[in-house]
Structure 1
Amino acid sequence: MTEEALVDRMALPRPDVTASEAADILLSHYGLSGSLSELGSQQDRNYRLDTEDGRYVLKICHAAYETEELNAQNAAIHHLRAKASAPRVPNVMTSTEGQEIVFVNVREQDYQVRLLEYLEGEGLTHRTYLAPTSIAALGALCARLAEALADFTHPGLDRSLQWDLRRAGPVAVQLLSSITDSAARDRIAKTMVMAVRRIQPLAPSLRLQAVHHDVTGDNVVSRADAHGRPVPDGVIDFGDIIRGWLVGDLAVTCASLLRQADGDPFYILPAVKAYHEIYPLIEDELKALWPLIVARAVILVASGEQQIAIDPDNDYVRGNLEGDRRIFDTAISVPFELMEAAILKAAGVDIAGINTTDWQPLLPEIDPASVAYVDLGVRSPHFSDGNWLATDMDWRLLARAAAETGAAATRYGEYRLSRAGLHHAKAQATYALHTDICLAAGSIVAAPFPGRITWYDQHLVLTGADIKLHIDGIELSVADGSEVDAGQLLGTVSGETSSLGGLRLQLCSIAGFEPPLFATPRQAAAWSALCPSPSVLLGPDADAPKPETAALLELRQAHFASPQKNYYERPPQIERGWKEHLFDIEGRAYLDMVNNVTILGHGHPRMAEAIGQQWLMLNTNSRFHYAAVAEFSESLASLAPDGLDAVFLVNSGSEANDLALRLAWAHSGKRNMLCLLEGYHGWSVASDAVSTSIADNPQALTTRPDWVHAVVSPNTYRGQFRGPESTADYLGSVMPVLEAIDAKGEGLAGFIAESVYGNAGGIPLPEGYLTEVYRQVRERGGLCIADEVQVGYGRLGHYFWGFEQQGVVPDIITIAKGMGNGHPLGAVITTKEIAASLEKEGYFFSSAGGSPVSCVAGMTVLDVLAEERLQDNAREVGDHLKARLAALIDSYPMVGAVHGMGLYLGLEFVRDRVTLEPATGETTSICDRLLELGVIMQPTGDHLNVLKIKPPLCLSEQSADFFVDMLEKVLREGW
């Protein structure tokens, strides 16, 4: 095809064929009829036909396209259908005349028509977000398709096509004339020139073969995995198939992903890695990939602008143009060099470093061993109680160290806590690509390598053969633009004599580019290849140690017993907490919405001070006599209802519930215990026996000992009886169990229940339920145990104890979790009479339970709860949070219900609001996506379809809003 013919073809609108005319074609040439709906297309006209026997796609093409090209498309489909390893592709249907291509004339216009099977599945373009697993699956699909086409040949593949990236430069020139905005036109043109310049020297090495060249969200179909994420497994629309660059095929796919990248070009890397693992690319192909992606972005934008000018009623093109502009903006947002480095690293290709063999000292008067390096990382001992949020804290610490030692420096490659930020959906740039040095003003600074001096308003750039050194804080002693030798004086450190001055040092290999001072964790490795460490100038201590998150996880899994699970498949390494926030080793801040252990919040200075002081004085067991145990026991008894004035101190909720069961047995002389299905009470032998939650133990319902009698879970949302009027029905389900125990004549020791259904998702018990059950139990001589381990100490906001919501008083209260704000501490509160019953079996003793340190920790928690009005905060912020969560029900069908009150809430996800089919897989994926957005959340309930919302009680309204905003973002965009 001539260049002129290609230009003419690029200017064609879609075929002018109406649905009625398409129906006539289908009936006359294929003997088919049914309902028609138009499918989007750039230059074809496509209709989907739904019949009783199946669905098909009628593709109407201009006669200007050579028939041999259409034959090539059909042949490729047949080729792929014969290969078991190839992705799914549609079948090519034949007309009643036995033809795969039919020539038709509609209103004196000639067209070529084909009918394909409609390939079932969901496309990807409409999705705002794709998870890394879906991105990787798309890359793998592209690789499998290319691998299957490697041995396919056909004369129709050698064609002139505007989308052929080998022709990107000339095509762009033709398309740019359609863009009327001169500034936009110039920007697009300059971008294409830069891309072509990088592609041209690599072009001879790029492999050629048959490629689909349009594996994009529009042209793949997917199935949903168990978590509701799309997994592409089928390919449609072979209209762009050519013999072209193999890597160009992947470039097209990656460019399409930038539509959903939210401005992050690194979003494509899972696809690159997955492709390379299946169908390896050579190094030159990897280096050409990003320039080709940029070239594709230019063609997309320019073509869309042209097509809208030609065919203004083409809603498909108009709808795509906004996405194409996002692709272009993301593609030009970073230097070519950065993405080349990122792609090479994703493919496991080593990047050569800079040769520093002959470099001279930068600071010839300073002994590198004398420089003190200041720890500004997440685990730094210099940080506490949020002091890192002060804007100048890093510099103050640096100056303090320099005043003591004479010279101090920050570390390259350190993830700075001061850069973490709070309430950010994206990880912040925390990785230091530079080093700051505080030293005596007037210190000599020399050139480490030969180069040319450039001076920009207190900013010096020394440009060498393959690297540049950026220096701030220097008084220049050489002329701007001069050439200097290695070791030659550049200047001195700015500042007054006898004072301290500061230097900022940064190396960068990108010409004509001002590098960032910090990189995000995701981009740190690629930026490090371009902005290498200045440790060669300062000594090896200038580099911060690299996090060993993966190695530590392996170590944990090797020696930490496997039943002790961790959150998330790829967990962040959490090393600091403050208030309702957690920080991983890379400085990523997370909002902790699940940690009811730290009731006051993380890193509370009062806790650290109180525990530290007590530990320095005394820590021993509770058989010794000391003030703390007496004072703490008295405080706990004063918080309980009248008559509950005997306190046992233990280390955990499991121990507390285990002890409560022993008390019930000892006091009643009986063994049988009543409990609720879906309940959880701990891991000890006795507390596990009465735990029936299958989320925690899948075998729970079949492995209970015969003294455990579980009754129907009074879950008013999805239980056997539903709605607020179900109390009588649930009480009715308890009576047969009690009557069966009565009939055996063995008696009843007691009843244990969470005051609010914790592991089920913060579900309140039906109104009046405990009143009647407690009465029935006590009539039989049993004791009533209120498990307040998760919900106690004001978490409900409106009540201090959970059982107050039911208007009852238990015989035994168990409490733990937040009692010590993370310090191991639990308690059982009961009557003196019940407590004395245990002495029949001997004395009770817990070595660490009730120790001086534990008691001081417990007292401090109670003091801070009162002083900071945290129960009031739980009520006020909790009510606000619940109202915002409830509002989601109106917009998102998967949101079934909001349970609980205060800061003990559960958000339940269902696939159907009538059947209440639990959205188990989706809930896990939602939690994974929330982690990406900076929120710690986990699923709970027997179906693991409820978000367990139980943050520290210091949660601010701003944090509550951030959580709901991020949750709504996930529900809106996908997971």
Structure 2
Amino acid sequence: MPDDALLRRTELSRPDVTAQDAADILIGWYGLSGPIIELGSQQDRNYRIEAAEGRFVLKICRADYATIELEAQNAAMRHIAGKVDVPRVPSVIPGLRGEDILFLDIGGDPYQIRLLDYLDGEPLTRRKHLAVETVEGLGRATGKLALALADFEHPGLERDLQWDLRRAGPVGLHLLQPMIDRMLQRRLAEALAGAVRRINRLGPDLRLQAIHHDVTDDNVVARADRDGHLVPDGVIDFGDILKGWLVADLAVTCASLLHHADGDPFFILPAIRAFHAVYPLNHAELQALWPLIVARATILVASSEQQLAIDPDNAYVIGNIEHERAIFECAVSVPFALMQAAILQAGATPDADLPLSGMGRLLPEINPDSVHLLDLGTLSQDLPQDNFSAPEVEQALLVEAAGRSGAAATRYGEYRLTRTRTLSANAPDTFALHVTLDLETGTRVVAPFAGVLEIRDARTMLRGIDGLTLHLFGLDHDPDGQDTLAAGDGIGMVAEVAGGRGVLTVQLCREPGLLPPLFSKPAHAAAWAALCPSPSALLAIDCDAPKPPSADLLSRRQRHFARPQKNYYDTPPQIERGWKEHLFDVEGRAYLDMVNNVSILGHGHPRLSENIARQWSLLNTNSRFHYASVAQFSERLAGLAPEGLDTVFLVNSGSEANDLALRLAWATSGARNMLCLLEAYHGWSVASDAVSTSIADNPQALTTRPPWVHPVVSPNTYRGQFRGPGSTDDYVASILPALDTLDRSGEGLAGFICECVYGNAGGIPLPPGYLQAVYAMVRARGGVCIADEVQVGYGRLGHYFWGFEEQGVVPDIITVAKGMGNGHPLGAVITTRAIADALEKEGYFFSSSGGSPVSSVVGMTVLDVLSDENLQENARRVGAHLKMRLEALGLRFPIVGAVHGMGLYLGLEFVRDRQTLAPATQETAAICNRLLQLGVIMQPTGDYLNVLKIKPPLCLSHKSADFFADMLARVLEEGW
């Protein structure tokens, strides 16, 4: 039991020492002067001074705390500073007379005074969201500090402290007794009692050593790593150092993270893994960790409630009370057993499983071979198009399957697509912890093991003597049924739902008294599966769904798929399905696709699927054969182009289209030299790469251009050499030196290629009249004007079908790809008959699958759907709405530099400074990663990779656009 002095100390308020008192102490005893700012503390007073000699913290402590405790703090900081690979810690600054601790009376009260240097860095407390890297960093810092203190001894460590989790029970009860809010008091008491019971069982196996006991988000300072993530590298405030349980050090750290967790306590697991990697915990310590976290959360709330009653003006306590309440609510939101299982898995020391083999059969009358297993996962062929979201689809498919085979069952451990939720910031509960069977009414159900039967509402439970409980739904019971059953005794009969059929749900749970959910979130699945094992053995049916091979699949991809072919994200979700503007991974998580300009119609379009299947069943060959679809499609494409551009080449990609366009320019003009724009991208082939100058795609782009390529100044009106809408003449004039050089050389000009809206730079429109002037200068020299519409054409701009229409020009050659095949490899070059015929002097042109029957049908179907579903108009309306939402973010967040583009080709540019336009490259990457966590696929673009490239399918709804804007606002507000 804690002594009376400890309990009295829990009731102390902060020292009554003003900022002026602090200034007098600093000048008189340390020779320091400068601006003073009060720092928060619960029971001390802390002031920071900005002196000419540097920044320091004056710490003022009541005399109720033994001096030897302060000496222990000073000695610990010096001890840690002598170690290698440890977090930074403050240094003790002696007074003018050389003393580490001053003993002064202020206002008639005795105080103990110390001065420490101030550690620079960013605190974490006020950041709502912490990245995984930050959470890992905090756990790693705690582990390194604990390891550094493992050999530290000092008599001042033997102390009575209210925060010592070894004393959580009695201290908590003392704090709770005077609490006025009786409902809160009861909840805190229940949580503390449950935690203390578990801790007491494990106490003898918990190691003791010197611990900081307060490495929290409030007591660390962090610096950004090379990827822009804050990583703690300094620890302050050694006021709670003592000799205590090693695992309590980590418990305090993890508790402080819970108010950043958005209600999900699994958020702390990266910190636990990082600590455990530095300083391994034993099995008992891992088991005790969650109860200690719950105890810490309880003490935090109880202590703050008491402190506010004593010191109602304490701004530090007032500022932290909501965080502490959030910590408590998160800590009690899940069962102890679940978090213990998750923590043991994080420490790679899970509890041993109870054996399930040798148990009897639950359904002895059912032939296991007659049971049809239903697939409700992401790859299910029973879920075509969007019926995965239909109400009661699971039951309907189960009934249908049972009608074919006599009995049907769902699969345990399956991530069900039927449980997904589109436009959700949180992953839905998709992981099945049970099996449901469709059976004939009256099918007998027997006890597979001995136990006590309990019926609670619709739930039937058979509790075994070893803690294993069988949970059943859908039974009729014998009114004379026994409470205690032997293995093989009857439990009941399958109840009728309709038409002589019934539905039985079967679930196991290893934790006595726990009523488990039927589904869990994917991130929680492993822990829940440890508590709720598969009932396959009891059913004699192999009804376990195979685990998704995502991690192994990624390593296989990286092993055999050439490294230059990059993938989105360092740890990408395994996407295997799509519908409209939504994508789905193998765990049933839905993502809003805001970047996929290839799928212009949206994913999984039924009309396109049907037409492709029909044509494949008839014929697919190369375009040298004579068939209707290639003539029809070529005619349709020519009809979309301005008058005179009536001749079409069909290829497989945008790179091939641009490569062919360059060859046409050479053949037509007889010259070789090409003008292109800086910051542009046109493809990967030798010729199209030659005119691509984006350093984001090729860091050597500006130094490896062949001599026939002449890049000219990028007409980037936001961050270019000339800015604003009045910059047209300046940008046109900037081309003249290149043209003059070519004129003097006598080599001639083959042409000019550019995107008519600056796509790769982030959807930036060209200056008004720019192409009119440049096209005229190029044509005056016999050159050909190529409009690269691969990204920006085909209705994506909303206001225009082609990008060049916005500039009021007609090119000589149009190149198009990407959206024209909705993901099918399809590209085209549209030009004049004369330009096309010029290529014949170099021989004929042939593309094996360009314009094949299937490709031609794909192309025509895309055009039909674009028209019939009015997708260009949708791009205009939804794009305008989305741009307005994004521009509104610029009024709230300084990182938003500009919103470029139109329709559904937008670019949101992030900058660190709106005057210098310093690109926020690291921040943009981190924002994209955070958006992925919130269910949005987004990637950066531009030479500095600081622009969000917003190019979703043209079927994007207002609701989806708002979800994207809302999630982006959340990221900018909470952090990344």
TM-score by length of 2: 0.99
1:537 corresponding residue in structure 2: 538
Query: Does 1:891 find its partner at 2:892?
Result: yes
Instruction: Give per-residue Cα distances to partners, 1:279-323, cap 9 Å, x unaligned.
Output: 000000000000000000000000000000000010110110110
Paired residues of 2:661 and 2:815 also in contact (CA < 8 A) = yes
Distance 1:8 1:459 in 2: 50
1:874 corresponding residue in structure 2: 875
- Superposed, 1:566-965 pairs within 5 Å as 566-965=567-966
2:238 corresponding residue in structure 1: 238
Distance 1:496 1:107 in 2: 80
| Amino acid of the structure 1 residue aligned with 2:412 | Y
Instruction: Give per-residue Cα distances to partners, 1:350-394, cap 9 Å, x unaligned.
Output: 331122233101110112122110100001011122111111111
Distance 2:765 2:503 in 1: 60
Instruction: Give per-residue Cα distances to partners, 1:234-277, cap 9 Å, x unaligned.
Output: 01000000000000000000000001111000000000000000
| Amino acid of the structure 2 residue aligned with 1:886 | E
1:371 corresponding residue in structure 2: 371
More displaced 10-residue stretch of structure 1: 279-288 or 368-377:
368-377
* Matched residue SS, 1:470: strand
Paired residues of 1:676 and 1:753 also in contact (CA < 8 A) = yes
- Superposed, 1:21-100 pairs within 5 Å as 21-100=21-100
- Superposed, 1:121-200 pairs within 5 Å as 121-200=121-200
1:470 corresponding residue in structure 2: 471
Instruction: Give per-residue Cα distances to partners, 1:74-125, cap 9 Å, x unaligned.
Output: 0001101111222100110111111000000111111000000011111110
Paired residues of 1:58 and 1:116 also in contact (CA < 8 A) = yes
Distance 2:15 2:350 in 1: 50
| Amino acid of the structure 2 residue aligned with 1:872 | E
Distance 1:256 1:239 in 2: 16
Distance 1:377 1:810 in 2: 49
Distance 2:871 2:93 in 1: 70
* Matched residue SS, 2:790: coil
Paired residues of 1:178 and 1:305 also in contact (CA < 8 A) = no
* Matched residue SS, 1:354: coil
1:558 corresponding residue in structure 2: 559
| Amino acid of the structure 1 residue aligned with 2:271 | A
Alignment CA distance shift 1:955-1:472 (3 Å)? same
Instruction: Give per-residue Cα distances to partners, 1:672-709, cap 9 Å, x unaligned.
Output: 11100010000111101100001101111111110000
Distance 1:401 1:84 in 2: 65
Deviation at 1:226, TM superposition (A): 2.7
Paired residues of 2:2 and 2:170 also in contact (CA < 8 A) = no
More displaced 10-residue stretch of structure 1: 534-543 or 774-783:
534-543
Instruction: Give per-residue Cα distances to partners, 1:573-597, cap 9 Å, x unaligned.
Output: 0000000000000000000000000
Deviation at 1:496, TM superposition (A): 7.6
Distance 2:285 2:348 in 1: 14
Instruction: Give per-residue Cα distances to partners, 1:380-409, cap 9 Å, x unaligned.
Output: 011122111111111111110100001110
Distance 1:900 1:470 in 2: 57
* Matched residue SS, 2:734: helix
| Amino acid of the structure 1 residue aligned with 2:358 | D
Paired residues of 2:429 and 2:522 also in contact (CA < 8 A) = yes
Distance 1:569 1:179 in 2: 49
* Matched residue SS, 1:50: strand
Distance 2:145 2:644 in 1: 75
2:282 corresponding residue in structure 1: 282
Paired residues of 2:341 and 2:350 also in contact (CA < 8 A) = no
1:398 corresponding residue in structure 2: 398
| Amino acid of the structure 2 residue aligned with 1:636 | L
Paired residues of 1:178 and 1:302 also in contact (CA < 8 A) = no
Paired residues of 2:2 and 2:167 also in contact (CA < 8 A) = no
Distance 1:86 1:864 in 2: 62
Instruction: Give per-residue Cα distances to partners, 1:462-521, cap 9 Å, x unaligned.
Output: 111221111111111364661111111112111289722110011112222211110001
Q: CA RMSD in A?
A: 1.0
* Matched residue SS, 1:679: coil
Distance 1:723 1:612 in 2: 50
Instruction: Give per-residue Cα distances to partners, 1:806-859, cap 9 Å, x unaligned.
Output: 000000000000011111100000001111111111111111000110010000
* Matched residue SS, 1:439: strand
Paired residues of 2:608 and 2:861 also in contact (CA < 8 A) = yes
Distance 1:856 1:377 in 2: 31
| Amino acid of the structure 2 residue aligned with 1:191 | A
Paired residues of 1:342 and 1:525 also in contact (CA < 8 A) = yes
* Matched residue SS, 1:218: coil
* Matched residue SS, 1:725: helix
| Amino acid of the structure 2 residue aligned with 1:589 | A
Distance 1:92 1:174 in 2: 35
Give the count of matched residue pairs: 975
Distance 1:565 1:228 in 2: 21
Query: Does 1:500 find its partner at 2:501?
Result: yes
Distance 1:600 1:257 in 2: 43
Paired residues of 1:454 and 1:481 also in contact (CA < 8 A) = no
* Matched residue SS, 2:828: strand
Paired residues of 1:417 and 1:430 also in contact (CA < 8 A) = yes
Paired residues of 1:789 and 1:814 also in contact (CA < 8 A) = yes
Paired residues of 1:42 and 1:316 also in contact (CA < 8 A) = yes
2:386 corresponding residue in structure 1: 386
Instruction: Give per-residue Cα distances to partners, 1:900-923, cap 9 Å, x unaligned.
Output: 000000000000111110000000
* Matched residue SS, 1:654: helix
Unaligned stretches of 5+ residues in structure 2: none
Instruction: Give per-residue Cα distances to partners, 1:118-140, cap 9 Å, x unaligned.
Output: 11111110110100110000000
Paired residues of 1:607 and 1:860 also in contact (CA < 8 A) = yes
Alignment CA distance shift 1:891-1:536 (3 Å)? same
* Matched residue SS, 1:721: coil
| Amino acid of the structure 2 residue aligned with 1:919 | A
* Matched residue SS, 2:542: helix
Amino-acid identity (%): 66
| Amino acid of the structure 2 residue aligned with 1:50 | E
Deviation at 1:541, TM superposition (A): 2.4
Distance 1:443 1:497 in 2: 14
Distance 1:2 1:404 in 2: 70
Distance 1:400 1:2 in 2: 66
Instruction: Give per-residue Cα distances to partners, 1:388-436, cap 9 Å, x unaligned.
Output: 1111111111110100001110000000001111111010110000110
* Matched residue SS, 1:874: helix
* Matched residue SS, 1:202: helix
Unaligned stretches of 5+ residues in structure 1: none
Distance 1:446 1:675 in 2: 78
Deviation at 1:458, TM superposition (A): 3.1
